[in-house]
Amino acid sequence: MSDEGTQTTRLSPDDAFSALGSETRVRILRELGAAEESLAFSELYERLDLSDSAQFNYHLDKLLGHFVHKVDDEYALASPGERVVEAILSGAVTDEPRLERTATEQRCTDCDRRLEIEWQNGSVEVYCPSCESRWDRSWGRVGGPVEADSGYMGRLPLPPAGLDGRSPTAVYRAAQTWANLELVAVAAGLCPRCSATVTRDLSVCATHEGDDGVCSACESTFAVRLTAHCTNCIFSTGTGAAWGLLATPELPAFLFEQGLNPLAPENPDHLDTVLNDYEEDIVSTEPFRADFTFAVGDEQLTLRVNRSLEVIDTPRRD
């Protein structure tokens, strides 16, 4: 390998965070992140406006080799340094913005009342003031699911930067698209946070009564639910099982045919309705087979799945 600093080293989390434990070092990373190209020592030093070049040199040295690399006497972010700057700018590790429960201009597709949103703990939580809840519990990331207020329709992950400069309605739409993209990753078996494998499990409510809102046995309107856990990081999520079909050929093809883009929806509410108001029919438990029927207008698609959420048939319904 070539000169010192070009080789990325593996650090323990303790060493990595202690290397970042200085305002000057974090400023160095941010300046290098904002620069369009690599910077010479003197350029970087000037941008930081420090009084002591020996101190600057000391801090730069602490970052070198892992967060920053040096090529031809110029400095640039290494990939771990880019990730740190991205995390800082997303606000996910520093900001705790407040968005109290606020009405959006988005109408509930069931009752036409205006949906309300609230941002907390890294997610937009969605409520309809007059509908039955879709879930009894909020799948919060800290401490596991907690009891939700009435009318709770679900949570959509959104980093704090997603709130910047957006109206409540725009926040809601951005969160829907962001959540979609996360669920596409989960459906494909990848963690949307760290890219490791997620394990996916179906849970099936044997005594499900979800026609009039949330079932008392499983605390959701969905009899078949998907939970996913990352094998590497702490990411986990839970949804109605049909969202796990977003990476199959059949469901996206049907949605596109009906003019609904499942990746970046122009009409996120319509997509949300189609993907949440599907019919579930548990055909057999041993082996597990369930039919999920999606409807857009008069068009329907039924997908029969096994416990691994593989589509094994597309039965026609009469």
Q: How far apart are CA 312 and CA 290, in angstroms?
A: 10
Residue 185 contacts Zn ion per CB under 5 A: no
| Interaction residues for Zn ion, span 62-91 (CB under 5 A) | none
Residue 217 contacts Zn ion per CB under 5 A: yes
Phi-psi region of 288 (alpha: psi -120 to 50; beta: other; left: phi over 0): beta
For residues 63-90, one letter each, b for 16 or more C-beta atoms within 10 angstroms of the residue's C-beta and e for the rest, the string is: bbbbbbbbeeeebbbbebbeebbeebee
202: β partners:
226
At 310, list the tokens.
Answer: 């593989």
Residue 188 contacts Zn ion per CB under 5 A: no
Closest distance between Zn ion and the C-beta of residue 71, in Å?
Answer: 31
Out of 218, 242, 247, 274, the only residue in the binding site for Zn ion (CB under 5 A) is: 218
Residue 40 contacts Zn ion per CB under 5 A: no
Shorter beta-carbon distance to Zn ion: residue 158 or 224: 224
| Interaction residues for Zn ion, span 88-117 (CB under 5 A) | 108, 110-111
Out of 215, 228, 245, 251, the only residue in the binding site for Zn ion (CB under 5 A) is: 215
| Interaction residues for Zn ion, span 114-133 (CB under 5 A) | 128, 131
197: β partners:
190
Which of 72, 71, 85 shows the shortest CA–CA distance to 20? 85
Closest distance between Zn ion and the C-beta of residue 234, in Å?
Answer: 7
Out of 34, 87, 188, 233, the only residue in the binding site for Zn ion (CB under 5 A) is: 233
Residue 204 contacts Zn ion per CB under 5 A: no
Residue 224 contacts Zn ion per CB under 5 A: no
Phi-psi region of 99 (alpha: psi -120 to 50; beta: other; left: phi over 0): beta
* 241, 218 Cβ separation under 8 angstroms: no
Shorter beta-carbon distance to Zn ion: residue 20 or 194: 194
Closest distance between Zn ion and the C-beta of residue 131, in Å?
Answer: 3
CA atoms within 13 A on the CB side of 177: 13
Q: How far apart are CA 166 and CA 58, in angstroms?
A: 41
Binding residues for Zn ion (CB under 5 A): 108, 110-111, 128, 131, 191, 193-194, 196, 205, 208, 215, 217-218, 230, 232-233, 235
